Amino acid sequence: MFSKACEYGIRATLHIAQKSLHGERVSLKEIAGEIDSPVAFTAKILQQLTRAGLITSVKGPSGGFQIAKKDMDRIKLSDIVNTIDGDSIYKGCGLGLPACNAKKPCPVHDKFALVRNELRTMLENTSLYELATGLDLELTYLKR
């Protein structure tokens, strides 16, 4: 569904969000450890998310990544997915046809549109805050 980079990106962001609920900043190392991902590759992804303004980074000792509490319900899953995988998952044709549209639809156009729209709606309406809270209550997990 998503690229590996995107999966790591979502997992990392959720861990940062959960820690940020308690005002704690987390280092790259800790993040990679907690979400069980390759350190250097995760670094690249966090850089993308930082540049996109979804998370904040601080260099130097006691540095790391964080997310302002007030941003947490503004930021949606769709923001992360868009930053890393782009919008092809919403916009692209299910069969990969570059010029598929309602006027000249591919054979699965309508059926796919339904599923894709549900996916988009879900991603656009699911906030970091909501998911981080579930993590904090240990109702959900990020490892293994």
Which residues bind to a copy of itself, rule: CB under 8 A?
A: 1-2, 4, 7-8, 10-11, 14, 77, 89, 92, 94-100, 104-109, 111-112, 114-115, 118-119, 122, 126, 131-132, 134-135, 139-144
61 binds DNA (CB under 7 A): yes
Q: Find all residues with CB under 8 Å of 125, minimum gap 6, and list them.
A: 76
Closest CA to 136 of 9, 7, 16, 3: 16
Q: Which amino acid is at 41?
A: F
Residue choice 24, 36, 52, 63 for contact with DNA (CB under 7 A)? 63
12/16 Cα distance (integer angstroms) = 6
23/69 Cα distance (integer angstroms) = 8
Q: Which does 61 bind (CB under 5 to 8 A by kind): a copy of itself, DNA, none?
A: DNA
The size of the chain, in residues, is 144
User: Which range binds DNA by CB under 7 A, 40-48, 101-109, 110-118, 135-143?
Assistant: 40-48
Given a contact cutoff of 8 angstroms between Cβ atoms, the answer to whether 56 and 67 are in contact is: yes
Interface with DNA by CB under 7 A: which residues?
Answer: 3-5, 8, 27-29, 37-41, 43-44, 46-47, 50-51, 57-65
